[in-house]
């Protein structure tokens, strides 16, 4: 038998394993606060004078333990970078095209990634002021922020 | 103690879009048998290979402990084997350190990746991000790199025209490399009019899906002449991992690349890469990365790579004469592809793309979105 590309034997497979990811003490506090109070919290390193969002229990710059230094940051911020995702694939939370942005929240020092909606793609720009729109139904993930919208 | 390690031989198959006719074990076996034939190396536990470093990825192979399924075809049966699940440049650095430490005289480095097997490369790299903050947003190596592309293009005045020139040049160089993926030639207009994938990254700016396998035999300095009369020396290695969260990083600062390069330069005694290194192979997964990494390596002053591209700096400095990753090497192995080109050039075996008088070359690899991790290796004649 002559095996060519169209009659070769192919096994269809899928890497799909039900899994539970423990978000850790620090992650749990961040996500619970987001889910229950619609508040975004960061952790501050007093030595470096930096507020990290998403939170982490140790400062990566100086190694200080910062897990109890919770500070509330605003739900408003500034876009520091963005891209327009044009390809459509199953791992995406919304239909393409969509805007992925790095957003520096007011009160935070590290921009964090999220989706921006409510603005035409051609008007999107670095420096845009945005405000979080919280999801109506919680999923207990970062998607409890539905997206960011132009502020004002 | 010796400060250098010999590369005695390399073996590779051709980079192809879809090696449907062979499993990855078969791809590796071809390379393995060629290396044995070229060098006569044995697996004697006193005098031969006792340790193998492999490079592969669980998600691309869709099986965990991806090295366990091919130990026998890379000579790792009944002896030591270690897997690097990062860019192959680290597998090479790892093999180098095993020999410099005195633990082994000989190390075989074997890598494989079949990007064609998964439905989507982006779905694979989405899994590199955590399930709490980044993965749910659909982040993957392509769109995270697009953040970096926009920022860098602004900083260094890199335009769509510059990127088109880089892509067309890559295809042209690759057409002289018999192991390169055959993509056909394209014009700058084709590149500029190709659709956006993730602005400002266009379809033709990104390396195409590729399958490949490769092997290298490393040996300590004292015994290299048992296996080759033309050793190529690994004289410097450095690597560095940048912050995990894209927002924590200064995306155009080349923080990790500068640290990796400085370590490799120091070890190899490179003072100024512009004059001390004759040939460069950079890990350009996406076109904008070629000038960005050139700045990070100290080849071009920061913010001036627009002029460098315009004035044919890429040709002057002999950058990516293989075609680069941009023409197509799988994500796990792009750094090994870079090292293989340096090896061939240093041996005078690069055929009609051979540069005269290459004495020292640099191979570079990256892992992660927007080059989170960098590795640099210096190779010498
Ligand atoms: Zn700190």
Tokens of B197: 């994938």
What's the pLDDT at A140? Answer: 84
Looking at chain A, the whole-number percentage of residues with pLDDT higher than 90 is 92
Question: What's the pLDDT score for residue B1?
Answer: 52
Say yes or no: A48 contacts chain B, CB-CB below 8 A.
no
The answer to whether A22 contacts chain B (CB < 8 Å) is no
pLDDT of residue A59: 97
Which helix (H) or strand (E) segment holds residue B124: the answer is helix B121-126
Strand residues in B59-210 grouped as ranges (E) = 80-84, 106-114, 196-198, 201-202
The span from the CA of B157 to the CA of B139, in Å, is: 26
Q: Which has the closest alpha carbon to B336: B174, B212, B230?
A: B212
Report the residue of chain A nearest B141, measured CA to CA. Answer: A85
Please tell me the distance from the alpha carbon of residue B257 to that of residue B250, in angstroms, as a whole number. Answer: 12
- Cis status, amide bond into A54, omega within 30 of 0: yes
Contacts of A85 in chain B (CB under 8 A): 138, 143, 198
Which residue shows structure tokens 């005695």?
Answer: B8
Tens-digit pLDDT profile for residues B281-307: 999 999 999 999 999 999 999 999 999
Give chain A positions within 8 Å (CB) of B251.
Answer: 81
Closest residue on chain A to B151 (Cα): A81
Cα separation, B16 vs B30, in Å, equals 15
Mean pLDDT of B188-195: 98
Q: How far is the CA of A55 from the centre of ligand 1 (A)?
A: 13
Identify the closest residue of chain B to A122 by CA–CA distance. B199
Instruction: Select the residue of B140, B195, B247 nearest A102 (Cβ to Cβ).
Output: B247
Contact between B167 and B309 under an 8 Å Cβ cutoff? The reply is no
Residues of B in Cβ contact (< 8 Å) with A77? none
- β-bridge pairing B5-12 and A112-116: unpaired
Across the interface, whether the CB atoms of A91 and B21 are under 8 A apart is answered no
Residue B199, token pair as written in the block: 């602005």
Q: Which of A7, A86, A97, A135 to mutate to test the interface with B (most CBs of B within 10 A)?
A: A86
Domain ranges within chain B, ordered by starting residue:
5-118+210-226
What is the rounded distance in angstroms from the CA atom of residue B65 to the CA atom of residue B79? 17
Q: How many angstroms is it from A48 CA to the middle of ligand 1?
A: 4
Does the pLDDT at position A152 exceed 80?
A: no
Q: Answer whether B143 sits within 8 Å of A86, measured CB to CB.
A: no
Q: How far apart are CA B216 and CA B165, in angstroms?
A: 32
Domain boundaries in chain A? 24-150
> Any CB–CB contact under 8 A between A82 and chain B?
yes
Burial of A135 (0-12, 13-18, 19+ CB in 10 A): middle
The two tokens of residue B148 are: 């970096």
Residues B108-132 have a mean pLDDT of 96
For B5-118+210-226, CATH gives 3.40.47.10
User: Which helix (H) or strand (E) is B199 found in, with range?
Assistant: none
Determine, for residues B247 and A112 on separate chains, whether the beta-carbon distance falls below 8 Å. Answer: yes
Flag whether pLDDT at B223 surpasses 70.
yes
Distance of CA A50 to the CA centre of its chain: 19
Helix axes B289-296, B141-155, angle to 10 degrees: 70
Strand arrangement of the beta sheet that strand A70-73 belongs to: A50-52, A40-45, A70-73
Q: Tens digit of pLDDT for each residue in B35-77?
A: 999 999 999 999 999 999 999 999 999 999 989 888 999 999 9
**Helices B289-296 and B255-268: angle between axes, nearest 10 degrees:** 50
Residues forming a β-bridge with B361: B279, B379
> Angle B332-B338-B339 (CA atoms, 0-180°, nearest 5)?
105
Which residue(s) pair with B212 in the sheet?
Answer: B113
Question: Which residues in chain B are closer than 8 Å to A83, comparing Cβ atoms?
Answer: 143, 146-147, 149-150, 198-201
Gap from A87 CA to chain B (nearest CA, Å)? 6
Vertex A100: Cα angle to A96 and A106 (nearest 5): 150
Give the whole-angstrom CA distance, residue A100 versus residue A109: 19
Which of 49-68 (A) contact B at CB < 8 A? 52, 54, 60
Distance CA B134, CA B71 (A): 35
Assign B28 a pLDDT band (cuts: 50, 70, 90).
very high
Interface test with B, best of A60, A85, A98 (most B CBs within 10 A): A85
**CA-atom Rg of chain B in angstroms:** 19
Helix ranges (DSSP H) in B297-350: 305-310, 313-316, 334-347
Does the beta carbon of A138 lie under 8 angstroms from any beta carbon of chain B? no
Residue B234 forms beta bridges with which residues? B5, B379
Which residue in the block uniquely carries the two structure tokens 């965990």?
B64
> Residue B3: pLDDT band by 50, 70, 90 thresholds?
confident
pTM: 0.97
Which residues have CB under 8 Å from B334's CB, separation 6+?
Answer: B87, B88, B207, B283, B285, B325, B365, B366
Cα–Cα distance for residue pair B208/B330, rounded to 1 Å: 9
State residue B347's pLDDT score.
98
| Contact at CB, A8 and B20, closer than 8 angstroms | yes
| Digit-coded pLDDT (tens) for B88-100 | 999 999 999 999 9
**Distance from the Cα of residue B102 to its chain's centroid:** 26
In chain A, whose CA is at the least distance from the CA of B137? A93
Query: Virtual CA dihedral for B313, B379, B94, B83, nearest 10 degrees?
Result: 70
CA of A50 relative to ligand 1 center, distance in Å: 7
**Averaged confidence pLDDT in chain B:** 97
Q: For residue A67, how far is its CA from the centre of ligand 1 (angstroms)?
A: 12
pLDDT tens-digit readout, A43-61: 999 999 999 999 999 999 9
Question: B-chain residues within 8 Å CB-CB of A87?
Answer: 122, 142, 197-198
- Cα-flanking dihedrals φ and ψ of residue A57, to 5°? -80, -15
The mean pLDDT value of chain A amounts to 96
Contact: A60, B151; criterion CB under 8 Å: no
Residue B163, SS3?
helix
Residue B320 CA: distances (Å) to CA of A38, A124, B281, B326, B357: 50, 35, 5, 9, 17
- The reply to whether A12 touches chain B by the CB within 8 Å rule is no
What does the block give as tokens for B251? 């995306």
Residues of A in contact with B66 (CB under 8 A): none
The rounded distance, in Å, linking the Cα atoms of B173 and B214 is 20
What's the rounded mean pLDDT across residues A98-125? 98
ipTM computed for the complex:
0.96
A117 contacts chain B (CB < 8 A): no
Name which of A95, A92, A111 is nearest A103 in CA terms: A111
The C-alpha atoms of residue B274 and residue B8 are separated, in whole angstroms, by: 27
Top residue of A6, A8, A15, A45 to mutate, by most chain B CBs within 10 Å, is A15
Tokens of B262: 């400085």
Q: Considering just the CA atoms, what is the radius of gyration of chain A in Å?
A: 20
């Amino acid at each position: 038998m002559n095996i060519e590309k169209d009659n070769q034997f192919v096994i269809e497979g899928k890497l799909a394993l039900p899994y539970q990811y423990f978000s850790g003490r620090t992650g749990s506090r961040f996500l619970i606060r987001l889910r229950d109070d619609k508040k975004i919290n960061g952790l501050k390193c007093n030595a470096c004078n930096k507020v990290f969002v998403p939170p982490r229990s140790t400062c990566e710059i100086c190694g200080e333990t910062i897990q109890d230094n919770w500070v509330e940051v605003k739900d408003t911020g500034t876009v520091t970078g963005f891209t327009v995702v044009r390809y459509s694939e199953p791992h995406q939370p919304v239909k393409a095209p969509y805007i992925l942005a790095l957003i520096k929240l007011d009160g935070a020092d590290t921009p964090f990634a999220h989706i921006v909606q409510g603005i035409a793609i051609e008007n999107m720009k670095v420096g845009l002021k945005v405000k979080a729109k919280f999801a109506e139904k919680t999923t207990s993930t970062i998607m409890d922020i539905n997206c960011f919208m132009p502020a004002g | 103690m010796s400060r250098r390690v010999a590369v005695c031989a390399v073996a590779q198959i051709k980079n192809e879009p879809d090696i449907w006719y062979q499993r990855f074990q078969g791809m590796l076996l071809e390379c393995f048998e060629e290396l044995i034939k070229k060098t006569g190396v044995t697996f004697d536990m006193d005098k031969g290979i006792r340790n193998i470093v492999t490079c592969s990825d669980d998600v691309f192979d869709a099986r965990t402990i991806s090295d366990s399924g091919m130990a026998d075809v890379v000579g790792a049966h009944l002896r030591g084997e270690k897997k690097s699940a990062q860019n192959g440049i680290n597998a090479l650095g790892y093999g180098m350190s095993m020999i410099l430490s005195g633990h082994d005289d000989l190390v075989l480095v074997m890598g494989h990746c079949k990007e064609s097997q998964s439905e989507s490369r982006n779905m694979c790299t989405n899994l590199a991000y955590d399930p709490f903050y980044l993965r749910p947003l659909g982040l993957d190596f392509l769109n995270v790199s697009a953040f970096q592309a926009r920022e860098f293009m602004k900083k260094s005045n890199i335009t769509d025209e510059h990127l088109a020139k880089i892509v067309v040049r890559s295809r042209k160089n690759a057409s002289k490399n018999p192991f390169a993926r055959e993509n056909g030639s394209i014009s700058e207009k084709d590149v500029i009019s190709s659709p956006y994938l993730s602005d400002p990254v266009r379809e033709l700016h990104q390396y195409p899906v590729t399958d490949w396998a490769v092997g290298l035999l490393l040996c300590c300095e004292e015994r290299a002449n048992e296996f080759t009369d033309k050793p190529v020396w690994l004289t410097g290695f450095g690597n560095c991992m940048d912050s995990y969260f894209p927002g924590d990083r200064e995306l155009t600062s080349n923080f990790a690349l500068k640290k990796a390069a400085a370590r490799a330069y120091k070890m190899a005694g490179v003072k100024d890469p512009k004059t001390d290194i004759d040939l460069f192979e950079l890990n350009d997964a996406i076109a904008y990365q070629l000038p960005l990494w050139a700045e990070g390596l100290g080849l071009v002053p920061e913010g001036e790579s627009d002029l460098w591209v315009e004035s044919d700096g890429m040709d002057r400095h002999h950058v990516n004469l293989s075609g680069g990753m941009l023409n197509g090497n799988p994500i796990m192995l792009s750094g090994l592809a870079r090292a293989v080109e340096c090896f061939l050039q240093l041996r005078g075996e690069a055929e009609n793309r051979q540069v005269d008088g290459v004495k020292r070359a640099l191979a570079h690899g990256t892992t992660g979105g927007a080059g989170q991790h960098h590795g640099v290796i210096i190779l010498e004649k």
